[in-house]
Amino acid sequence: VLPPRSSARVDLQRYRELHRRSVEEPREFWGNIAKEFYWKTACPGPFLQYNFDVTKGKIFTEWMKGATTNICYNVLDRNVHEKKLGDKVAFYWEGNEPGETTKITYRELLVQVCQFSNVLRKQGIQKGDRVAIYMPMILELVVAMLACARLGALHSIVFAGFSAESLCERILDSSCCLLITTDAFYRGEKLVNLKELADESLEKCREKGFPVRCCIVVKHLGRAELGMNDSPSQSPPVKRPCPDVQICWNEGVDLWWHELMQQAGDECEPEWCDAEDPLFILYTSGSTGKPKGVVHTIGGYMLYVATTFKYVFDFHPEDVFWCTADIGWITGHSYVTYGPLANGATSVLFEGIPTYPDEGRLWSIVDKYKVTKFYTAPTAIRMLMKFGDDPVTKHSRASLQVLGTVGEPINPEAWLWYHRVVGSQRCPIVDTFWQTETGGHMLTPLPGATPMKPGSASFPFFGVAPAILNESGEELEGEAEGYLVFKQPWPGIMRTVYGNHTRFETTYFKKFPGYYVTGDGCRRDQDGYYWITGRIDDMLNVSGHLLSTAEVESALVEHEAVAEAAVVGHPHPVKGECLYCFVTLCDGHTFSPTLTEELKKQIREKIGPIATPDYIQNAPGLPKTRSGKIMRRVLRKIAQNDHDLGDTSTVADPSVINHLFSHRCLTTQ
């Protein structure tokens, strides 16, 4: 246990007191916080209403229903006009190439967002419409999402590492009428021709009878040709490599961002929305294979991300905050865009990767901008650990005060390295457990207040009431291990799965009526600390990204050579977990390195590079129950060469197990 710091905003006793009040009197606790925001009209009725019990009717949560507001107004206009933060830097943008930089103040950001809102309005976008965004980490991504929010349109951001097929699936699921994308970008040395992927995706949408009527394209790599900068601020023009990117142009559909912006006015009245109107859709893997469109609403999400940001990172106005997550994930939505901006914070927005041009890139950026609070993923920490201490220690990092992690359990070895080497043993670490569905942090230490245990996400945030249940749904007290659930709503909880409320109820509320079920296993120790033990459903966590076994399996069986596939998670030193696939081939096909390559390519094209398997094993037969269910539990053991299989009496044909053991993949392919 590492002791807390003395200078914290709250100490442990105050945390306990505030937490107790927040759970016992959520309306009063969040009501006080709501007063810090702008509401066009006040909440006319109950501040909170909900039902978490499927046996009593429809599942719903409503915070401040009937109050009207606009989140974009709260995070920009109010900061500029009321709080006089117009000249404060909102983002330092650091490009993939060192030296490619720019910055944008709150006032400049507001102007760009108003301009782009006017652009969208002119394209017919209205409150409630869905807009797909497929962009790298550039300032226009933030501008685009906030412009949607200003108009009450829902942004559906698709991570730029996803494939054309994944983008198409997401556009169709929420019938997005407009796509915003970028010509191309570099990730390290790799050139990504994003427009080509976007075109491919829109072609697929057309084939499926859904023509997206407009595609707005940011000229990013080609920016130098325009003789313009990322923002109207005074930074020097950026240097960029001059790639040979060929862009197809679809007349009547494609429009250049910069041309539209030149004609757009810089004032735009926000659309006043109900606190319970949807703010965005963000897709996350679902155990059936089809991604779920997680819907967050305006009011509750705003309160929750603002408050978690303030306490969990112990925010002070002079901070320079840096969350390395891509905005395409929930971490980026909540802690690159909305949380920091709601607090009037200055953040770093980084386009590149930690190892380009060298392994010290993150720390050179920390020094360059004097970053005080730094938030990243265990997979990044483990990857950097491999290069030893030198790339870190040759940079000062003296500005750092708090370090955070998110996305998966952090192993104590990585935690200790992060603390000892990166944080020079001065900085508290906040290991934040949460989910796309929760909107913001759920279990987390508060820096300086919570004594830390490496590997534990420690205690619940304000308003969060966790419980651990056994298989029969009984709440376990004291030291215990079981299903992690939450007993009552917090403002940031998702409200529905887009277009499929039944799926929302079934996934999160059916197994244990009365509780929100996370899908994670958890242990509580004798001091009340929570330790996440990992997913207990058919989900995999690769480098902090959730994938479902079903979605990878369906990508595999779409290949003509594959009759059946089963995918399991396998321990990996950097990714945490990697994919180990078993494939049964159709008659007439033979297993070969060429086929393995084709299957990998297939998965990259269907899902994206993050889902590329490390192992693919030929499996003439799979262990199944007599009713035909694949026994992934057994396959997981086979992959690890663990012969302690437990009960295998239900396996229909036990001989397949020995065959699979003797043909295991010994190295990654």
Binding-site ranges for ligand PRX (CB under 6 A): 284, 330-331, 406-409, 431-436, 457, 518-520, 532, 535, 541, 546
Cα 606 to Cα 299, 601, 609: the distances in Å are: 35, 9, 9
* Cα gap 147→379, rounded to integer Å: 32
Strands 496-497 and 516-524, sheet pairing: unpaired
* Cα gap 605→164, rounded to integer Å: 7
> Minimum CB separation from ligand PRX for residue 651, in Å?
29
Identify the three-state secondary structure at position 303: helix
> Minimum CB separation from ligand PRX for residue 518, in Å?
6
User: Quick check: 93 and 142 in contact, CB under 8 A?
Assistant: no
Query: What value, to the nearest 5°, has the Cα angle with vertex 159 and ends 157 and 165?
Result: 95
- If the CB atoms of residues 92 and 516 are measured against ligand PRX, the closer one turns out to be 516
Sort 556 into a burial class: Cβ within 10 Å, 0-12 / 13-18 / 19+.
buried
- If the CB atoms of residues 90 and 443 are measured against ligand PRX, the closer one turns out to be 443
> Minimum CB separation from ligand PRX for residue 287, in Å?
12
List 469's β-bridge partners, or say none: 475, 483
- If the CB atoms of residues 95 and 423 are measured against ligand PRX, the closer one turns out to be 423
- The residue ranges of DSSP E strands in 525-644, in sequence order, are 530-535, 539-542, 545-548, 562-572, 576-585, 615-618
> Minimum CB separation from ligand PRX for residue 507, in Å?
12
- If the CB atoms of residues 433 and 483 are measured against ligand PRX, the closer one turns out to be 433
| DSSP code of residue 599 | H
Strands 320-323 and 373-376, sheet pairing: parallel
- Nearest-CB residue for ligand PRX: 436
User: Quick check: 518 and 435 in contact, CB under 8 A?
Assistant: yes
- If the CB atoms of residues 216 and 402 are measured against ligand PRX, the closer one turns out to be 402
- If the CB atoms of residues 93 and 159 are measured against ligand PRX, the closer one turns out to be 159
- If the CB atoms of residues 260 and 312 are measured against ligand PRX, the closer one turns out to be 312
- If the CB atoms of residues 73 and 434 are measured against ligand PRX, the closer one turns out to be 434
The terminus-to-terminus CA distance of the chain in angstroms comes to: 41
Strands 278-284 and 373-376, sheet pairing: unpaired
- If the CB atoms of residues 186 and 531 are measured against ligand PRX, the closer one turns out to be 531
Cα 235 to Cα 80, 99, 328, 348, 468: the distances in Å are: 21, 11, 27, 15, 52
Phi, psi of 615 (to 5 degrees): -135, 135
> Minimum CB separation from ligand PRX for residue 541, in Å?
6
> Minimum CB separation from ligand PRX for residue 667, in Å?
28
- If the CB atoms of residues 184 and 305 are measured against ligand PRX, the closer one turns out to be 305
> Minimum CB separation from ligand PRX for residue 485, in Å?
12
> Minimum CB separation from ligand PRX for residue 610, in Å?
11
Neighbours of 65 (CB within 10 A): 21
Q: Say how far residue 321 (Cα) sits from the centre of its chain.
A: 17
> Minimum CB separation from ligand PRX for residue 328, in Å?
11
Q: If residue 557 lies in a helix (H) or strand (E), which one and from where to where? A: helix 549-557
> Minimum CB separation from ligand PRX for residue 444, in Å?
8
